[in-house]
């Protein structure tokens, strides 16, 4: 009987890719929490790792990060890029994979995007178009 990988309907990723992404996320969060990266920028920021998205072949991990307070995001991403080799080695030790994935760091801007959409929905123009503010029924 052939093995079928289930795919998540929203992202199209297999359960394995989602599971490995979560393992990589936990490993990175642990390394950052323990202060194992010797970089002044990383040491001076509290960095959260809300999500890691793996490529289908598990060789590339896109790591979404957010410094506490959302400040200095680009500076933090640059510092993580500078320490990519060390972080990749730590992942290789902590997560049992055939290959340690290449890491690509990005700022997690989902909260900014959600706030932008919320503001749009609250704007008078959108409320008017939705027929909520003056009770117009269609």
Residue 114 lies in a domain: yes
Residue 3 lies in a domain: no
Could you give the number of structural domains in the chain?
Answer: 2
Residues 101 and 121 in one domain: no
CA distance 71 to 34: 21
Domain of 54 in residue numbering reads as: 15-107
pLDDT of 133 > 50? The answer is: no
Tell me which of 70 and 1 has the higher pLDDT: 70
pLDDT of 137 > 70? The answer is: no
| pLDDT in the model for residue 121 | 80
Residue 4 lies in a domain: no
| pLDDT in the model for residue 38 | 94
DSSP symbols for 3-64: ----B-TTT--BHHHHHHHHHHHHHHHHHHHTT-S--HHHHTS-EEEEEEEE-TTSSEEEEE
Residue 7 lies in a domain: no
Angle, helices 84-94 vs 15-33, to 10°: value is 120
């Amino acid at each position: 009987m052939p093995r079928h990988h289930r795919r998540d309907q929203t992202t199209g990723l297999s359960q394995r890719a989602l599971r490995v992404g979560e393992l990589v996320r936990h490993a990175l969060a642990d390394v950052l929490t323990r202060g194992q990266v010797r970089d002044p920028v990383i040491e001076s920021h509290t960095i959260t790792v809300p999500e890691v998205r793996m490529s289908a072949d598990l060789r590339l991990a896109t790591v979404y990060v957010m410094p506490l307070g959302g400040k200095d995001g680009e500076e933090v991403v640059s510092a993580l890029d500078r320490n990519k080799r060390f972080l990749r080695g730590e992942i290789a030790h902590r997560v049992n994979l055939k290959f340690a994935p290449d890491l690509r760091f990005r700022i997690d801007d989902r909260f900014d995007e959600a706030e932008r959409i919320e503001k749009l929905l609250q704007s008078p123009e959108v409320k008017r178009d939705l027929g909520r503010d003056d009770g117009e029924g269609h």
